[in-house]
Amino acid sequence: MVCAICEIRKEKRFCPAIHGRICPQCCGKQREVTLDCPMECPYLQQAREHEKPRPAEHFDAASLFLQVEVADQFTYEREHLLMGLSYALLKAAHADRTLSDRDLIAALSAMCTSYERLVNTGLHYEQPLTSSAQHAVAAHVEQMMKQYREAEQKRLGYSTLKDSDVLKALVFLLRLAHGRTSGRPKSRAFIDFLSKQFPEQESTIVSPADSGILDASARTVPSRILS
């Protein structure tokens, strides 16, 4: 039998994206380009093992917000914030299985622009988002930050989270997303990366600032994200 895609070469593997059999060449060429490859696909998993994070020099400097300094000390001090924001991104992806890395990156980029403007000028003006999917991602992130502030207020009597901290956290995650995605149009490599950091998908991070509600396994998540 011939490949269901090219209809020329001999089929040799089952493709869960099209529920048919295809040739290795089409699998490699169309993977996450025209095919919505599920994370469970063994051939996608094999490809992931050989993919390395893309270096910063492969990107336009503006897309990485290099003017925003994110020191190592910040990532240690705000581990729970980074964990909560990461989980918010994953929740958005789980709520809409059509989301790709590009949607998360676009939403993060727009939010970084808005918060950078807020920090530098004091003007609160949300950068326009181009799709409902990106709006949904931003909504999950904003809701998490609201919960984070409320948790701090409840535990400490005040919130320590500044807009500049939010900006640094968003920039950190944006850079991480750029480095972890494969760059293919339908790539979910970054989303898959986040899924591996939170294997217990049923758990809900309600108050990331309150370490008392996080079990031992959850507390190890930030260090895995930073690696």
pLDDT per position as a tens digit, 22-76:
999 999 999 999 999 998 999 999 998 887 766 666 777 788 999 999 999 999 9
Sign for the pseudo-dihedral over CA of 53, 57, 62, 64: positive
Exposed, middle or buried by CB within 10 Å (0-12, 13-18, 19+), for 155? middle
Q: Which helix (H) or strand (E) holds 185?
A: none
pLDDT at 221: 36
Query: Per the structure block, which two tokens stand in for 186?
Result: 């339908």
Query: Per the structure block, which two tokens stand in for 162?
Result: 């500044």
**Does pTM top 0.95 for this prediction?**
no
Q: Which residues of the chain have pLDDT under 70?
A: 53-57, 125-128, 200-227
pLDDT at 56: 64
Torsion angle of alpha carbons 132, 146, 97, 62, nearest 10°?
Answer: 70
Which string of DSSP letters, residue by residue, matches 163-179? HHHHHHHHHHHHHHHHH
Rounded CA-CA distance 56/126 in Å is 27
Rounded CA-CA distance 56/178 in Å is 9
